[in-house]
Amino acid sequence: MKLSVIGCGYLGAVHAAAMASIGHDVVGIDVDERKIASLSKGEAPFFEPGLPEILSEGIASGRLRFSTDMADAHGADVHFVGVGTPQQKDGYAADLTYVNAAIDGLIPYLRAGDLVAGKSTVPVGTAADLAARVSPTGATLVWNPEFLREGFAVKDTVDPDRLVAGVPSGEEGDRAADILREVYHPAIAKQTPFIVTDYATAELVKVAANAFLATKISFINAMAEIAEVTGADVTQLADAIGHDARIGRRFLGAGIGFGGGCLPKDIRAFSARAEELGRGESVGFLREVDAINLRRRDRAVELVVGAFGGSVFKKNITVLGAAFKPHSDDVRDSPALDVAVKLHGLGAWVTITDPEAIENARRIHPQLNYVAERDEALRGADGVILVTEWDEYRRELSPEHAATLATGRLVVDGRNGLDAAAWRAAGWTYYGMGRP
């Protein structure tokens, strides 16, 4: 099937390459000439495991190409729209500028019978408004939200845990759902759940999922706050309640909280949209979810400062991690960078290391010191803080080896990912988040 993908950022580039990998003829379109030039050469403009391979394979096969000309979308059977919806600069609401521009640019090239499939995360009610603009062309709008995890996006696209299609009512909707089933035929053949809904439900599925995950993370971090004043161990607490099948252990890892380009801005946009609908009280708890999340960053800084007797002035602090999560080079709303900047502001000499995200971090915060190699970053450190749980910090760095490099023996575990007993046995003063 012939597909176009409008927007070749993180979502769009992965989707275009993944669709080509399962046999479709795909053109990816974006206004960013540098990005398109990079993708056309088979070079991913960001770090995502598995993407370079399917990108190069798709281009070599002739099934995948990239363009800056929207006219190249003409003739595709399905047009996926995967542009960004950032937080508005003057508030919490989502900025739909790029979504509206993509639809306006695409409309002149639509044919009767085409499918326009929205994948961007948008406020509920957006799809209905866009459908009214698309329908005069004879094309049909559907809403097909993505559920990608950075670091696992290729797998999540090719082999998703569910597919959701928000479609119009009647025969038009039935036909649209059948076309999407054809697009995702390998996943459908594996019995992947294919859930057909109305527009509003499909839009809410995405934001509700993100709101739930954010709430679960902030819940355990709220328990960490209680644990810190009672002497309880939040890690053992999470293990104990996680055995309850109704709760589960996943996303109950206390630490410095969530970041990235999705959860923070999506829960804020959800709150803003609920206010517009006159139901702000229904998701009022999300304001506290956000507040808890931000407090945990401050708490990590407090632990470092407290360990040095109240001041980190002129202390050499090594920050392990810059990306908001491992297996990614994404530094948007990164807790790691937030902690590093706060320590720098308190007078510490901060050295950051990360396997993939250094250049992205340097562009945002050039005032910090960056060292690519882990051991070099640890050399001469008065204190160490783990903020992004890459394996080379959590599992592959022994406390004995770290002791041969660092000057001091302080480690703050911002992700509760280290073996506290092992680090203490090796002579380190260990502080965790919500742990004695």
Name the residues annotated as catalytic. Answer: 262
**Contact, 357 vs 305, CB < 8 A?**
no
Nearest to 319 by CA among 344, 295, 294: 344
Q: Which residues have C-beta within 8 Å of that of residue 395, sequence separation ≥ 6?
A: none
Residue pair 24/183 in contact by the 8 Å Cβ criterion: yes
d(CA 385, CA 304): 8
382 Cβ contact partners less than 8 Å away, ≥ 6 residues apart: 308, 315, 316, 317, 406, 407, 408, 410
Q: Residue 28 is which amino acid?
A: G
Residue 4 · residue 73 · CB < 8 Å: yes
End-to-end alpha-carbon separation of the chain, Å? Answer: 58
What is the C-alpha separation between 313 and 377, in angstroms, rounded? 19
Cβ neighbors of 101 (< 8 A, separation 6 or more) are 83
Report helix, strand or coil for 402.
helix
Judged by phi (left if over 0) then psi (alpha if -120 to 50, else beta), residue 248 lies in: left
Distance CA 210, CA 200 (A): 16
d(CA 310, CA 377): 24
- d(C-alpha 431, C-alpha 413), whole Å: 6
Are 51 and 13 within 8 A, CB to CB? yes
Q: Does an H or E element contain 302, and which? A: helix 285-307
Rg (Cα) of the chain, in Å, rounded?
23
d(CA 214, CA 201): 20
SS3 262: coil
* C-alpha distances out from residue 77 to 1, 38, 196, 232, Å: 7, 26, 20, 58
Q: Is 117 exposed, middle or buried (0-12, 13-18, 19+ CB in 10 A)?
A: buried
Burial of 112 (0-12, 13-18, 19+ CB in 10 A): exposed
